[in-house]
A and B are shown apart, each in its own frame.
Chain A
């Protein structure tokens, strides 16, 4: 119903004018919304998805993630763009981006409600590569969500780790030995859980599901090719 309301308002109130271009993203979103309410152009050409192979990943020479936010959405491939002080920004073709410190999502842009930043502290095994045997019992983090100050709304949590079964996990033709880790985070009057598949040997996270804000769905990330400085 909400997309319907949005489209009706869009069609009814925007009107038209000279000199107002529509961004490519707007076109994509509009097409998506209109298809939901059945007024879209069914004949619009759709680009055939390219099949990703390990060879194509290696050939690109780029650090790469596959990320999906919420249920019912298609995963997007994001490529590392910048490394600023260990904070690596990955962006999609639609210029939606995730910034990661190690494997911890420290910022999102243009996806759900933006996560402005995440403050990490030394010893956080999600942010700093740590062998599973050396993981601490718990870590402290501060999430910065949009708010009425430059710092945004600060949300502090303490997260503890629970190790589960071991097994194997395959991502684009490569199989890794992994251990399941459930991360339970508690703040003042609220809590959430993250889940990870962690390489038994190195502590690298190959698949991770993380909380990115109260008003956002969780993000599920597959690490196709990890970033190395």
Chain B
């Protein structure tokens, strides 16, 4: 069985080519599964760290949509929704969600090929369930050769007895949402392999593969049935980040794929383009250090008016300041720079230019939502000795002090913004996309959102948001509650919001009103998160009543109390953060949500989440628990100027009423996490930018 001619051919060529020294590391391209692969078969290649891609694959009788993420330099993850004709028990199309993981055991080095091990569809219904060990080697002329052994679906064509001796493989899993660990690497195995040629024609790649997938389920359902195990493909990248693929599958049918990809470390636009920092003049040693100015209120006002105007051009708003003869504290909010360290550095430069020579210490306090979060203490003399020098980054980090900010400034020598009452508005389009509901593979909408905010004081505001559905899934086939199925404007929020600080490291907020499009009530949250600590604790409690879908300000009869205790942890390892929420969900079910995210310093975030509650399997719907992946991309990644706006997309189950929480204002932790000492350390290079 094993010694087929093709195997001998591949083995011979593979071994011969191994004898050549490596000229490049194994790179990767997307297959029809959206992960690193040939056409249907995997390779051992990996994408650049953080690479994120969306692939739409169209095959005879099935369609696949995949979100692929290079989680760590050697670990790749894929979440996929697929629609396969005739696989449901009633003969209709089956929508399925599946997860893949691949780990590159060794990278290519000299004669050694890259070797990887992987699991396909290990957390789904198992339609694509398969496991593999694969090796890939880069050769001269842009050629890469791949060979591997597969189990499960990847061992279904021309298989042989399990080389590990694990011959019994359970036929199927009970239901989706369960690990299929009892199947892994069991049953028959089979060889697969192929070639990939990165042609001299820029962007053009050609592929050929020998598949070990017999398409058993599709064939049984009367769908795609392969004639031969060979497939061929051509892929073209007209521009960076877009790949188009066309394939001739198994000697029978055509298939197509379209991939969009991006990398947080490779922004579309230059992240540093823009205004450079103001030059810093060192105070002359014999300069005037008198302190008389500090007693003169007009002088203080004049200085601060100039500072506020200069910082305004940097997207930094001065909330208040305290100007003492030798110490100045300035409280600022940063609305433009992605990295807060950059805003702090720019503020220090302006202070160095504007403050009288007697001032020796700058205390720069970062505000978020009207709350003072952290204070960076800068010694002016040391600052002057560091600016423009090669070791300024490290020395400035070693000389500044970061502390929890005091809730309020003292009353002496105080300067405050002239007007604390402000009205603002915004109009923004949004495209909420949710992949994989139980009844539909994707829901999408184009909404126009009109938002208003009346800031009554720095910590008290009235906020409202109305959204109008323009186009998308809102029709009789829409998935979701009755609140989603309307063409009328939706009042998705109208609340009075209060934020406050209970102690140096204890934050709080409350919101009263219409919290989201389904619920109204009273929402409160408290967070303990010292800036020098990489973890925090939070508690959120909400009393809600369900709103009347036919009346903007009406309520139904359903009411409940929901709430969660939360632990937040910034691991400091590869930008990985974790969050565990335990508590009671809106439907009265008790349970927890674990969210693990990789959050890059430029704000790009990919988060995987799973929610498990005491709701029964039958009640919960698709899978035994809620799960998915959320990608959040800062617009600065694509735009040629500084902005803190972002856009998000979610891949996940969203159809069950269980495991759901009330919307409304975001978590306090999201507001304060970027001011922690750890995040400041990672981004401090921007202090001088």
Contact = CB atoms under 8 A, between A and B. Distances in A.
Interface of A: 1-2, 5-6, 9-10, 12-19, 21, 23, 25-26, 29-30, 33, 81-82, 84-85, 87, 89, 91, 94-97, 99, 106-107, 109-114, 116-120, 142, 144, 146-152
A148 B685 CA distance: 8
A15 B427 contact: yes
Given A15-B429, A95-B275, A149 B681 contact: yes
Interface string B357-396: 0000000000000000000000000001101111111101
B232 to A, nearest CB: 28
A109 B277 contact: yes
B1 interface: no
A146 B277 CA distance: 16
Contact of B272 (A16, A94, A106, A110): A110
Given A13-B429, A16-B427, A119 B390 contact: yes
A180 B311 CA distance: 45
B426 interface: yes
Nearest to B317: A19
A9 B639 contact: yes
Nearest to A146: B685
B622 to A, nearest CB: 31
A112 B272 contact: yes
Contacts of B424: 17-19
Contacts of A144: 390, 393, 685
Interface string B396-423: 1100000000000000000000000011
B427 A2 contact: no
Given A84-B388, A150-B397, 15 more contacts: A9-B635, A14-B639, A15-B429, A18-B425, A30-B640, A82-B279, A95-B276, A95-B277, A116-B689, A117-B389, A118-B390, A120-B390, A144-B685, A148-B575, A149-B682
B202 to A, nearest CB: 13
A116 B635 contact: no
Interface string B668-687: 00000000000001111111
Contacts of A1: 238-240
A63 B683 CA distance: 33
A151 B394 contact: yes
B508 to A, nearest CB: 27
Nearest to B238: A1
Contact of B426 (A16, A30, A33): A16
Given A10-B639, A87-B388, A116 B685 contact: yes
A18 B279 CA distance: 31
B274 interface: yes
Contacts of B575: 148
B685 A150 contact: yes
Given A9-B635, A17-B426, A2 B390 contact: no
A89 B387 CA distance: 10
B270 A113 contact: yes
B269 A2 contact: yes
Given A25-B275, A149-B684, A18 B391 contact: no
Interface of B: 238-240, 268-282, 312-313, 384-385, 387-394, 396-397, 422-429, 575, 601, 635, 638-641, 643, 645, 647, 681-689
A82 B283 CA distance: 12
Contacts of B422: 19
Contacts of B389: 84-85, 87, 117
A6 B640 contact: yes
Contacts of A146: 272, 685-686, 689
B681 A97 contact: no
Given A87-B388, A117-B391, A118-B390, A6 B685 contact: no
Contacts of B280: 82, 84
A85 B683 CA distance: 25
A203 to B, nearest CB: 21
A183 to B, nearest CB: 19
B393 A6 contact: no
A5 B427 contact: no
14 contacts: A1-B238, A13-B428, A13-B647, A17-B426, A18-B424, A18-B426, A84-B387, A84-B389, A109-B277, A110-B273, A112-B272, A117-B688, A148-B601, A150-B394
Contacts of A15: 426-429
A96 B686 CA distance: 15
A25 to B, nearest CB: 5
Nearest to B339: A146
Contacts of A16: 426-427
Contacts of B268: 2, 5-6
A22 B277 CA distance: 17
A91 B349 CA distance: 15
Given A2-B240, A89-B388, A97-B276, A152 B425 contact: no
Task: Sort A-B residue pairs by CB-CB distance and give the 8 closest, nearest first.
Answer: A109-B276, A15-B428, A17-B426, A150-B397, A110-B276, A150-B684, A87-B388, A81-B279
A124 to B, nearest CB: 12
Contact of A151 (B272, B312, B393, B425): B393
Max chain B C-beta neighbours (<10 A), residue from A12, A13, A21, A96: A13
A17 B268 CA distance: 24
Given A9-B635, A151-B393, A152-B685, A84 B426 contact: no
Contacts of B384: 84
Contact of A29 (B273, B278, B396): B273
B432 to A, nearest CB: 13
Nearest to B426: A17
A168 to B, nearest CB: 34
Contacts of B396: 150
B276 A149 contact: no
A25 B638 contact: no
A99 B392 CA distance: 13
Contacts of A149: 393, 681-682, 684-685
A150 B640 contact: no
B388 A107 contact: yes
Nearest to A5: B268
A109 B689 contact: yes
Contacts of A99: 388
A29 B640 contact: yes
A147 B426 contact: no
A6 B385 CA distance: 40
A97 B270 CA distance: 16
Given A2-B240, A91-B279, A114-B689, A106 B390 contact: yes
A54 B389 CA distance: 31
Nearest to B602: A146
Nearest to A145: B685
Nearest to B685: A152
A89 B427 CA distance: 41
Contacts of B689: 109, 114, 116, 146
B276 A91 contact: yes
A117 B387 CA distance: 11
A106 B689 CA distance: 13
Nearest to B278: A95
Contacts of B272: 109-114, 146
Contacts of A21: 312
A5 B240 CA distance: 11
Contacts of B641: 23, 25-26, 29-30
A119 B424 CA distance: 47
Given A91-B279, A117-B393, A6 B269 contact: yes
Contacts of B647: 13
Contacts of B312: 21
Given A16-B426, A117-B391, A25 B274 contact: yes
